[in-house]
Structure 1
């Protein structure tokens, strides 16, 4: 088993980050071109806790050597994700698990967004547990896990970079919308 963890602080408010989280795989995120589809399987709001729970299936095209693709049966993979948006605690928690190749390797990821220590900042915590499930020599399992953790680390950095772009573009769009609404409101008063 190998573990990965990372903490980053975005220069955006929790409101911005938690809203943009739903668009992180959008077309203008040039770091998420591997994501083919994001399908919402279910969404529910707990009437007592007011926590929004969403289940999604994320389909990705994997960039792997040809021999690996032939061994694994293709280059498309699926990830099951459950997210919880807690407005009271101001916390978004996303848990994901690979579905494809799960008999060979288990990748369990957890992401948490919460307000930072300063206004207008959001803490992003990411962790993953990677376990090679193939039988055989421990040396092979260790190699698979080490390779997978390094690949996860590289993809996590690209993911943060892409999400920063989504946040920047969204901030511009929201600012334009607020300005337009302000002007319309002033026009109504005249």
Structure 2
């Protein structure tokens, strides 16, 4: 089985990245239009480490050719199980994703290519979410400062 890994660094503060992480599949992200729904299955903070562990089920519209979909169950949607770890001490977010459908050996190369392309698009989309978050939070901060000055 082939494995795909991607490591990204963003030119944003830890606070901005860790907050925007939960909005990476929102309407601000034009690169994730294939995501239909994101359901949080569990979330807890480890009392000893402070690490936030979250499990989510991400429902996606399949973009694979019909013949490939038939090899993977014939459905036009797929589910990705994501487990993420947010470590406030090391300021690192780790997300592990896996599908629940059978993956055939014959399509491993295509799958790895798709994951690579999706990771690139995901980074581009997340950059847009970060930029929008920064703008919205700055506007709100300015609005609050102006309101306080008028009071």
Both proteins in one fold, TM over 0.5: yes
Number of residues of Structure 1 aligned to a counterpart in Structure 2:
150
More helix by share: 2
Partner of 1:176: 139
Provide the TM-score with structure 2 as the length reference: 0.89
**Structure 2: which 5+ runs fail to align?**
none
SS for the counterpart of 2:94 is strand
Does residue 1:163 correspond to 2:126, yes or no? yes
Query: Is structure 2 residue 61 aligned with structure 1 residue 69?
Result: no
CA distance in 2: counterparts of 1:81 and 1:182, whole angstroms? 39
The runs of 5 or more residues in structure 1 that have no matched partner are 106-133, 135-140
RMSD over aligned CA atoms reads 1.7
Question: Normalized against structure 1, the TM-score is what?
Answer: 0.72
Structure with the bigger percentage of strand: 1
C-alpha deviation, 1:148, in angstroms? 1.2
What SS does structure 1 have at the residue aligned with 2:85? strand
Distance 2:146 2:91 in 1: 31
Following TM superposition, by how much is the alpha carbon of 1:86 offset from its aligned partner in structure 2, in angstroms?
1.8
* 1:29 CA displacement: 1.0
Q: Rate the CA distance shift 1:7–1:92 in 2: closer, same or farther, 3 A.
A: closer
Specify the structure having the higher radius of gyration (Cα): 1
| Segments ≥4 residues shifted beyond 6 Å | none
Rounded to whole Å, the distance in 2 between the matches of 1:66 and 1:19 is 37
Q: Counterparts of 1:92 and 1:4 in 2: how far apart (Å)?
A: 17
